[in-house]
Amino acid sequence: MTNRRRGETAVELGAKRYTLCLTLGALAELEHAFGVADLPALGERFAGGRLSARDLLTLLAVALRGGGRALTDEEVAALPLDGGIETLAGALGDCLAAAFGSAPANPPEPQAP
């Protein structure tokens, strides 16, 4: 089960549910992978909305590792896309939104009067 307060989101790949999370280490890995100097530059990189398949693969691999899966980039590349690229892009978008502070808050549970 994912914990939105920790910035986690879920994605289903190959009929298996995975947790995605961009930890501080994961964000540092993305800075290195995309050749940017800092978090604002990384945010700008993703805000442009133009990502290649390689970009999505890198982001997915890093988010899976941040979510606790010790998978290589090659293992991630071999995972099937349940729901297609749109479903994956949505999950990765949610993960980025959580990491950069625009994730929706968990609504409070209704209280009895």
Q: Which long-range contacts (CB under 8 A, 24 or more apart) does 11-16 make?
A: 11/60, 11/87, 11/88, 11/91, 11/92, 12/82, 12/83, 12/87, 13/79, 13/80, 13/81, 13/82, 13/88, 14/79, 14/80, 14/82, 15/82
State the pTM of this model.
0.82
Over the stretch 5-34, which tens digit does the pLDDT of each residue have? Answer: 788 899 998 889 999 999 999 999 999 999
Which pLDDT does position 107 carry in this prediction? 40
Interval 26-56: pLDDT, tens: 999 999 999 999 998 988 888 877 888 899 9
Determine the pLDDT at residue 111: 53
